[in-house]
Amino acid sequence: MPTFAPTSFNTVCWVLGGFVTLFGLVSYLFKEKLYLSEALISLLAGVTFSPYGLNFIDPLNYAQGSIANLNAITLNFSRLVLGVQLVLTGVQLPSRYLKAEWKSLLVLLGPIMTCMWLFSSVAIWAMVPNLSFLHALAVGACVTPTDPVLSSGIVKGKFADKNVPKGLQKIIIAESGANDGLGYPFLFLALYIIKYTGEGNLGQTKGTQEAMRLWFGETWVYVILLSVVYGTAIGWIARELLHWTEEKNFVDRESFLVFAIALAVFTVGGCGFIGSDDLLACFIAGNVFTWDDWFRLKTLDDSLQPTVDMLLNLSIFMWFGAICPWPKFLNNDIIPIHRLIVLGVLILLLRRLPAVFALRKFIHQIEEKRQAVFMGFFGPIGVGAIFYLYTALDFLDGVTDQNGLQRADVVVLAEAMTIVIWFLTICSIIVHGISIPLGKIGFHLPRALSQAFDSTRNSESRPFCVLEWIEPEVEGRSKWRQIFGLSTPRSYSTLASASTSPSYYIEGSVIPGNGSESTPLNGSTSPTTLPAMPYGTIRLE
């Protein structure tokens, strides 16, 4: 018997499928004509269908009403999307790119990334009331990495092909892939110190020593170095196996094209088993996998990988729009909304731009100051920040007092991290999502207004005078002939036209230089009244 079954699964399929279908119908218009990012559009769609809008999607209901389950879903969803994106990022880079451009990457991942962390932390510490600087360092670490998902939207497409040099595109892609995995040391330096120097712990000196031991031993050795080794091994083995099977004709075209995506999923799962840095491992695996450029060139014209990547990106930003704690931005005990807005402006302007601009001479891909401004401004905050947020929240759940309850200072820190990081992520998605169209409007609007003003100013007919030297036909004195007329400018040509000068048509009469009676140009014998003051004079000899 037919029944109406609006189950959660049916609703999610209906909403997600309908949005992707409708967006696909106008995707070229939005992305290549209006230059709007798919992340921004997906975020707005998620808000529309969320409990704050039409209430078609209820993420908390899917998590069985548990905030912990909802956080775990978001964390793992972010891991999956970032893992696929980072492997594809590594695949897109040319052969041996990390080896060839290690100097530029060292500057970006060393002093510039450190400055991003410190600048962000100082701004957060200054704007969030009653937040210690140590806690601000933990919050700032989450928004330090540039997001590879949003960065790919900036350096791909028609706008990037026309306005961003290829070398600059590659270094932005490489930086966003590498620094996303290198956010762990910044985050866990602050978290370990918070955990072991807080109330009821080892004390200031012993607690700091224990925090440093764990930071060097676990974070740098087990998390960072092990992920590099793991990613290198996985990428090399996968490349050799695919080479061998392709030579033997054991692999079909479909399996060949999906290989990189399967490699990403496998790497994420493997790093999850051993508790290492899956983001860095995925980027290293993708780069080693295409170290000889063979796979990249083989799939250069393939659309399967970008298609899967697009579906994941649309899904994750719809999810973000649905789960974002929008009401907390206005109603919370941590920071008022006006301070949040000022903080968003400070982070967008000071988090990255000053450091990149100051060290631009050490990055040879930056050839001009405006390229430094572009690279400094477009360091978006996105999926990576949300990943580190929920990684930090998971760690803070285990920071307890002597009674087994979460410490009071950690509870406040978790709330501050949730509000600030979500707000900064939303700010970045919106601002970076509309920056290119607003920039193009700002570039073309003054020119359009100038043309409109000139067209209006020249729309009225103006008198002018032409002086032509007349030689006598037989004998007599030479004389000047004055031709008076009215200028009638025609419409301006397009920018591609070689000339923007108006055309003029003579509607006056010819007057001999000896002051005899005038003869109209149209052949009439009736006199024509001439203007007393001609607007301009053209002399013909």
For position 158, what pLDDT does the model report? 77
Per-residue confidence band for 468, with pLDDT thresholds at 50, 70 and 90: low
Q: What pLDDT shows up at residue 200?
A: 55
User: What per-residue confidence (pLDDT) applies to 494?
Assistant: 41
DSSP run (H or E) holding 144: none
Confidence of residue 463 (pLDDT cuts 50, 70, 90): low
Residue 333 CA: distances (Å) to CA of 136, 396, 522: 16, 19, 85
Kindly report the number of other CB atoms within 10 A of residue 85's CB atom: 29
pLDDT, tens digit, for every residue of 305-335? 889 989 999 999 999 999 999 999 999 999 9
pLDDT tens sequence across 173-196: 999 999 988 999 999 999 999 999
Tens of pLDDT along 113-164?
A: 999 999 999 999 999 999 999 999 999 999 999 998 888 777 777 778 888 8
Confidence of residue 507 (pLDDT cuts 50, 70, 90): very low
Which of the residue ranges 47-56, 198-207, 448-457 has the most confident prediction, judged by mean pLDDT? 47-56
Contact 194, 137 (CB under 8 A): no
In angstroms, the CA 307 to CA 266 distance is 19
Range 69-93 average pLDDT? 94
SS3 514: coil
Confidence of residue 505 (pLDDT cuts 50, 70, 90): very low
pLDDT classification of 8: cutoffs 50, 70, 90: confident
Confidence category of residue 285, pLDDT binned at 50, 70, 90: very high
Please answer whether residues 155 and 172 qualify as being in contact, where contact means their C-beta atoms are separated by less than 8 angstroms. yes
Question: Of 283 and 493, which is predicted with more confidence?
Answer: 283
- Return d(Cα 210, Cα 192) in angstroms, integer: 8
How much of the chain, in percent, has pLDDT values that exceed 90?
65
Nearest of 97, 483, 539, 60 to residue 289 by alpha carbon: 97
At how many degrees (to 10) do helices 408-457 and 304-323 cross?
110
Task: Give the gyration radius of the chain's Cα atoms.
Answer: 33
User: How far apart, in Å, are the Cα atoms of 245 and each of 248, 255, 296?
Assistant: 5, 11, 17
Between CA 180 and CA 279 the distance in angstroms is: 7
The residues, ordered by sequence, that sit 6+ positions from 165 with a Cβ below 8 Å of its Cβ are 365, 367, 371
Q: Which of 386, 377, 394 is nearest to 425 (CA)?
A: 386
Lowest pLDDT segment from 120-134, 163-177, 481-495: 481-495
Specify the pLDDT at position 199: 65
Provide the whole-model pTM: 0.82
- Name which of 91, 94, 24 is nearest 262 in CA terms: 91
Report the Cα–Cα distance between both ends of the chain, in Å, rounded.
Answer: 98
Give the whole-angstrom CA distance, residue 442 versus residue 436. 10
Q: Are 21 and 13 in contact (CB under 8 A)?
A: no
Q: What pLDDT is stored for residue 203 in this prediction?
A: 58
**Mean pLDDT throughout 260-271?**
95
| pLDDT reported for residue 450 | 62
What is the C-alpha separation between 16 and 3, in angstroms, rounded?
22
pLDDT > 50? residue 64? yes
Q: Under DSSP, is residue 184 helix (H, G, I), strand (E, B) or coil?
A: helix
Give dist(CA 389, CA 396) in Å, integer. 11
Confirm if 189 and 197 have CB atoms less than 8 A apart. Answer: no
> Looking at the predicted structure, is the pLDDT value of residue 281 above 90?
yes
User: Residue for token digits 């676990």?
Assistant: 218
- Whether the CB-CB separation of 102 and 345 falls below 8 Å is answered with no
> Region 503-520: what's the mean pLDDT?
43
Token couple for 206: 């012993």
The pLDDT value recorded for residue 159 is: 79
339-372 per-position pLDDT tens digit: 999 999 999 999 999 999 999 999 999 999 999 9
Does the pLDDT value for residue 522 go beyond 60?
no
Q: What is the mean pLDDT of residues 239-243?
A: 95
Quote the mean pLDDT of the chain. Answer: 84
Q: How high is the pLDDT of residue 391? A: 96
Q: How far lies 178's CA from each of 146, 183, 493, in Å?
A: 9, 9, 49
Percent of the chain scored above 70 by pLDDT?
80
What is d(CA 197, CA 161) in angstroms, rounded to the nearest whole number?
Answer: 51
Residue 58 pLDDT level (bands cut at 50, 70, 90): very high
φ and ψ at 101, to 5 degrees?
-115, 35
Do the Cβ atoms of 174 and 93 come closer than 8 Å?
A: yes
